[in-house]
Amino acid sequence: MGIDLPLIWAIIILFAVMMYVIMDGFDLGIGILFPFFPAKEDRDTMMNTVAPVWDGNETWLVLGGAGLLAAFPLAYGVVLSALYLPIILMLVGLVFRGVAFEFRFKASDARRHWWDKAFICGSILATFFQGVTLGAYIGGLRVVDGVYAGQPFDWLKPFSLFTGFALLGAYALLGSTWLVMKTEGELLGRARAVAIGSAWAVLAAIVAISIWTPLLGANIARRWFSVPNIFYFAPVPLLVLLFLAMLIRTVRRDAHAAPFVCALGLVFLGYTGLGISVWPNVIPPGVSIWDAAAPPQSMGFALVGALLIVPIILMYTAWGYYVFRGKVRQGEGYH
């Protein structure tokens, strides 16, 4: 029995995208939450909590994109052709966010507010169009003879716009619980209040998407509600409720790390639910990972590099978070 290279690569890409959503999600969430924390000192502290790690978090996005090109070039071509505009707008947001992150600390007091606005707009733009891209992808892409056959604005649909707003809520939840873990004093108290509000917003979004997604196609509905799948997947919504209850309880009991862990659990469950809806298609609704796979020789060659680089990324990421563990106090920074 041979090695299923498309399956291995699908797992690697799914893992990379999940790591990106989790790790870049909370620092994008910091930018989304900036309007709730207008004081300069609070904003300085918020940015200092992510300053040592935010660059490395985006490594996972690069790995996911490069893996898609190496392992599933058909999917890479179709997805970029179909979602070119939202992906470009997402990248523009990431550029604005990254530039504002560095220049804000060097700007004068009179000009700093411009970089704050750029940081907010870049974070919101990048997050929203990540969600739009995800929603358009889940909704399905029209492929004829291995080429995208839809229109340039087919991604502009109510479901994809809703997932864009839903991801704003999810990243705000990650950002607020990250602040609960990393800050103290009045900033910590306000972060707790924002975290509870964000948690309820995320629950509402999960419920809406859970109802809406099966309506996008009969194949998705069958995946969730056919027997015995309905029994296999029933724990997912139950775990969502469990993690939400734990998150709110730990926030109200003045826990520090536990709310962030619960937020990660909620986001992971949402990611898992969307994955269940499309699996094993790499181009929904009908192109599987095996249909879109590159030649075995290409996948095997690229896999050697991936198996070397992924552990290295994990090690330096873990080391960076370990070195900069603990609370960040007002006035402390890395710039």
Of 167-176, 233-242, 288-297, which one has max mean pLDDT? 167-176
Distance, CA of 249 to CA of 271 (rounded, Å): 23
- Beta pairing partners, 291: none
Given a cut of 60, is residue 334 above it in pLDDT? no
What was the pLDDT predicted at 201?
92
Asked whether residue 55 carries a pLDDT value surpassing 80, the answer given is: no
Q: Which of 16, 27, 99, 102 is nearest to 324 (CA)?
A: 27
C-beta separation of 174 from 22 below 8 A: yes
Percentage of the chain beyond pLDDT 70 is: 98
Closest residue by Cα to residue 133 from 89, 100, 99? 89
Give Dmax (Cα) for the chain: 67
Instruction: Report the pLDDT averaged over residues 124-132.
Output: 95
Judged by average pLDDT, the poorest of 98-107, 148-157, 306-315 is 98-107
Q: How far is CA 165 from the centre of its chain?
A: 13
| Per-residue confidence (pLDDT) for residue 143, from 0 to 100 | 87
The pTM assigned to this predicted structure is 0.91
Q: What are residue 39's phi and psi, to 5 degrees?
A: -70, 140
Q: Model confidence over 3-32: pLDDT tens digits?
A: 889 999 999 999 999 999 888 889 899 999
With contact defined as beta carbons under 8 Å apart, do 174 and 310 qualify?
no
Instruction: Average the pLDDT over 203-229 and give the result.
Output: 83
Across-strand partners of 148? 143
Q: What is the mean pLDDT of residues 284-290?
A: 87
Spans of all domains in the chain: 5-324
19: Cβ contacts below 8 Å, ≥ 6 apart: 60
Separation of alpha carbons 94 and 58, rounded Å:
10
Per-residue pLDDT tens for 247-268? Answer: 999 999 888 889 999 999 998 9
Q: Residue 136: what residue type?
A: A
Could you tell me the two tokens for 115?
């970089």
Write out pLDDT tens, residues 208-217.
Answer: 988 888 888 7
Q: Is the pLDDT of residue 335 over 60?
A: no
For residues 297-315, average pLDDT: 90
**CA distance readout (Å), 86 to 79, 198, 221, 235, 281:** 11, 25, 27, 33, 21
